[in-house]
Structure 1
């Protein structure tokens, strides 16, 4: 009887948290056409989902800043090993922030980042994707940062999956991204 009570208490505590976690849904919905990218690579050249995609698509990471966000810096470094397992699945990886190209180039060189970091000056892409973090106001240095989130996009530009946590300090690990991709229907 005690075990049943413990389960009931745990359920009453965990179910509301699970429901809350599931409700964090930012950016374009799965199945929607992804908004265009208005970002540039480190050389200042415009990019597109099609140009960045592998045979099966693109994993696009929106992050706050490589300059001042330690959670973003850790995420970008942790993703250094991602290109190989993603390529084995037919995907490429890119990450986008409001940082200027100079900041991204310095971080890429210092941390030996093997995938493209993209600059979205003015947060045009971030706004088009409806990802601007509204906790920051125009007078803040963080005005224009996106909600930290990850999108899996088909080569045709359709969002096939997304991963996001409400707490910007929590980032889905590579294993979660790979599991999500492995769980997608083939030919998507």
Structure 2
């Protein structure tokens, strides 16, 4: 299993294609806080709930100085359809070879209905303006995660 990131560590830089085929990098957000959330598959019930929660809270994240990036192993075309259908206004990034997920500790062994396999571990990493990990959350639940993240970032004040 990939090693999980810890608070204070440098977040691995990356450049991935977004749902429109444009390159988006972590480095392009230096100077601001970035929320990088990893989700297993676009257009599935849990991932849709989580993405819509981020969409519905995007204005408050942005007002507090955060940008949001969603990362999944889906191809760009699937991300484009998902973003259009759910009216998602933040970048969804394609990590088809799951190299970024591995670098962030968000790829590893999973168990489901007695079956063990390798896959994406629903995770959220908050990167500070200097590129360091400010918060690392692994095995998060799709439902209620954004509300918990807002509390953890003291955005509900």
Task: Report the TM-score, using the length of structure 1 for normalisation.
Answer: 0.70
Cα distance in 2 between the residues matched to 1:117 and 1:29: 24
Cα distance in 2 between the residues matched to 1:72 and 1:52: 24
User: How many aligned residue pairs are there?
Assistant: 149
Cα distance in 2 between the residues matched to 1:58 and 1:131: 16
Distance 1:170 1:109, change over 3 A: closer
How much does 1:173 deviate?
2.9
Q: Which runs of 4+ in 1 moved over 4 A?
A: 169-172
Cα distance in 2 between the residues matched to 1:108 and 1:144: 26
Cα distance in 1 between the residues matched to 2:125 and 2:133: 7
Partner of residue 124, structure 2: 150
Pair 1:59 & 2:35 matched: yes
- Write the deviation string for residues 33-67 of structure 1: whole angstroms up to 9, x where unpaired: 111224211233332213246x5310111000004
The answer for unaligned runs of 5 or more in structure 2 is 112-116
How much does 1:170 deviate?
4.6
How much does 1:171 deviate?
4.5
Q: How do residues 22-171 of structure 1 correspond to structure 2 at under 5 angstroms?
A: 27-52=4-29, 55-67=31-43, 69-135=44-110, 145-165=119-139, 169-171=141-143
Cα distance in 2 between the residues matched to 1:45 and 1:150: 22
- Write the deviation string for residues 122-178 of structure 1: whole angstroms up to 9, x where unpaired: 111011122213237xxxxxx764210111101221110122336xx5544322222
Instruction: Provide the aligned C-alpha RMSD in A.
Output: 2.4
Larger radius of gyration between Structure 1 and Structure 2? 1
- Write the deviation string for residues 4-52 of structure 1: whole angstroms up to 9, x where unpaired: xxxxxxxxxxxxxxxxxxxxxx721111011122421123333221324
Task: Report the TM-score, using the length of structure 2 for normalisation.
Answer: 0.82
Cα distance in 2 between the residues matched to 1:114 and 1:66: 15
The alignment partner of 2:62 has SS state of: helix
Q: Which structure has greater strand proportion?
A: 2
Cα distance in 1 between the residues matched to 2:41 and 2:65: 27
